[in-house]
Amino acid sequence: MAGSVVLFSGLCIAIQIFSGFADKLFLSIDCGEPTGTRTDKLGIKWVGDGDYISTGKTAEVQVSNSYYQEDTTLRYFPYQKKSCYVIPGVARGRKHMVRASFFYGNYDGKSSPPSFRLQFDGNRWADVNTSSSESKYWEVIYAPKRDNISICVAQTSLNQTPFISALEVKEFERGMYETEDTDDVLRRWQRVAFGAKGFVRYPDDPYDRYWHPSGEFDGVVTVARDNMSFIKNFTDVPGLALAHAITAASGNATTLTVPSSETDLEDATYYYNFYFSEVLEAAYQNKSRSFDFLVDGQKLNTNGSIIPPYQSDEWTLYNHVGRSLTAGSNISLVNTPDASLPPILNAMELFKLIKSGLTNGTNENDVKALEVLQGPYQQLQSWAGDPCLPLGFTWDWLNCNMDDLPRVTELHLNSSGLHGILPDFSGLTALQIIELSNNSLSGQIPEFLGTFPHLKEL
């Protein structure tokens, strides 16, 4: 048993017991290294990307300012408007974290880091603006609707060539990052370990989440745990992220405002987790730390004050699944009347919540029929990911309608270098137009070409 958690949801207080970390998908892909595996100094196994993508070119960076070996190579995509990695065998309906990393490193000698779009499972994810000097990453948490995950980079401007340095997929235990709707999407905004001496990640965090140190702030000091033996006992949140906390610099202060640089918000709906763990045994024994959670002056913990626990591997989590925040929102911890010490805060996670943000994807029967069509032709196999979505990024050689489950309505494969006997793609029952001229197909005209109920042009 990993430990007990006092959970403040804003609506109820409950005790949850989390089971230990089980064997889940933990995949780290070194993009631009097509084959082979390696284990880095943290103990993470990295695999080449050749089994997950069949397009693009590989390159090495010319300028390396990165600490991580996976940033020294990349895969770039000069030809297609959308290029996708496909990760098979994922647990449908289970929450996964997907992280994509990008380090330009002047690989092309142009000293011009590009901008492009990042997509997952046919959904728009983020606009990527890369840097000449630093590695950047984007992270999303969601429950896949199908048995694979596709991650795509897409060109949005001419002369802006997409690339990717690393791709990681980590499956969470049940109960983590739960939202009201299974189609909700969490886009990482911030994940902070207040007072931490450095970056917290694997192996302290078994999911290799990145917990950034907070740095220093005016009016705030760091307090350290007086007994560090507990830090290896955690799974759902790493002990090192709770080993330190921030509190008001004045012992007489009754309010701790979350530093503004750590809540630099956009006007949006957010999902957030705030973690509290007492660092001083004497403070807990005297129960002298007790406070409320306020957003823009509104008290949200309506079912009891927050008293951070001290015992070994326990912590208090205050979370809210769908709170609207603005650029000027103020998040503060305010003492209750019986408190004698100011509030503390150990760690925080903020996500932009995209309500019902997952598309249903292209009709699965159409997807399977396209796989049959692609099978004999290497020139078609470079196209992967959702064939119709997102809108504006349909595969170049087909058109789709915009039903809730989009259907493929047109195939434009003239002059595509096809040869031999045409495979049976009759599962594409919504086809209206099929173009196959100027290819080297052989044999009789396949009977299945006469079975499409909506075909208008062949």
Q: What is the pLDDT of residues 210-250, one digit of tens each?
A: 999 998 888 999 999 888 877 766 668 899 999 999 999 99
Residue 17, pLDDT > 50, answer no
Residue 9, pLDDT > 50, answer no
Residue 67, pLDDT > 80, answer no
Evaluated on CA atoms 76, 78, 83, 86, the torsion sign reads negative
Give me 402's structure tokens: 């915009």
The pLDDT confidence band at residue 407, using thresholds 50, 70 and 90, is very high
Evaluated on CA atoms 36, 39, 40, 44, the torsion sign reads positive
pTM greater than 0.75 = yes
From 293, 295, 273, select the one nearest 344 (Cα to Cα): 293
pLDDT of residue 113: 97
Residue 1, pLDDT > 50, answer no
Q: pLDDT for 293-325, tens place per residue?
A: 999 999 999 889 999 998 767 789 999 999 999
CA distance 440 to 415: 9
Expressed in percent and rounded to 5, the helix, strand and coil fractions of the chain are 10, 35, 55
Rounded to 5 degrees, φ, ψ at 313 are -110, 35
CA distance 7 to 28: 31
DSSP states along 174-211: TTTT--SSTT-EEEEEEEEETT-SS-B-TTTSTT---B
pLDDT of residue 5: 46
Give me 388's structure tokens: 């119709």
Residue 24, pLDDT > 60, answer yes
From 252, 249, 242, select the one nearest 309 (Cα to Cα): 242
Mean pLDDT of the chain: 91
Omega before residue 162 within 30° of 0, cis? no
pLDDT of residue 233: 64
Residue 389, pLDDT > 60, answer yes
pLDDT of residue 3: 39
Please answer whether residues 458 and 413 qualify as being in contact, where contact means their C-beta atoms are separated by less than 8 angstroms: no
Please answer whether residues 299 and 329 qualify as being in contact, where contact means their C-beta atoms are separated by less than 8 angstroms: no
pLDDT of residue 145: 95
Measuring CA to CA, how many Å separate 25 from each of 4, 21, 88, 90?
A: 25, 11, 11, 7
Measuring CA to CA, how many Å separate 196 from each of 275, 306, 414, 440?
A: 14, 22, 60, 64
Give me 80's structure tokens: 């297609």
Give me 424's structure tokens: 């049976």
Task: Return the HEC string of 91-148.
Answer: CCCCCEEEEEEECCCCCCCCCCCCEEEEEECCEEEEEEECCCCCCEEEEEEECCCCCE
Residue 420, by phi and psi: left (phi above 0), alpha (psi -120 to 50) or beta?
Answer: left
Gap between the terminal Cα atoms of the chain? 63
Q: pLDDT for 154-196, tens place per residue?
A: 999 999 999 999 999 999 999 999 999 999 999 999 999 999 9
Domains in the chain and their CATH numbers? 26-171 (2.60.120.260), 182-354 (2.60.120), 364-450 (3.80.10.10)
Residue 64, pLDDT > 80, answer no
Task: Compute the average pLDDT of residues 138-146.
Answer: 97
pLDDT of residue 227: 81
Give me 217's structure tokens: 């702030």
The pLDDT confidence band at residue 10, using thresholds 50, 70 and 90, is very low
Count CB atoms within 10 A of the CB of residue 161.
Answer: 19
β-pair partners for 26: 170
pLDDT of residue 293: 96
Please answer whether residues 298 and 323 qualify as being in contact, where contact means their C-beta atoms are separated by less than 8 angstroms: no
The pLDDT confidence band at residue 22, using thresholds 50, 70 and 90, is low
Element (H, E) at 169: strand 166-171
Residue 442, pLDDT > 70, answer yes
Opening angle at CA 308, ends 304 and 309, nearest 5 = 110
Please answer whether residues 404 and 354 qualify as being in contact, where contact means their C-beta atoms are separated by less than 8 angstroms: no
- 352 DSSP 8-state letter: E
Rounded to 5 degrees, φ, ψ at 229 are -65, -15
Omega before residue 390 within 30° of 0, cis? yes
From 324, 424, 409, select the one nearest 375 (Cα to Cα): 424
Residue 80, pLDDT > 70, answer yes
- 147 DSSP 8-state letter: S
Please answer whether residues 242 and 232 qualify as being in contact, where contact means their C-beta atoms are separated by less than 8 angstroms: no
Give me 134's structure tokens: 């630093």
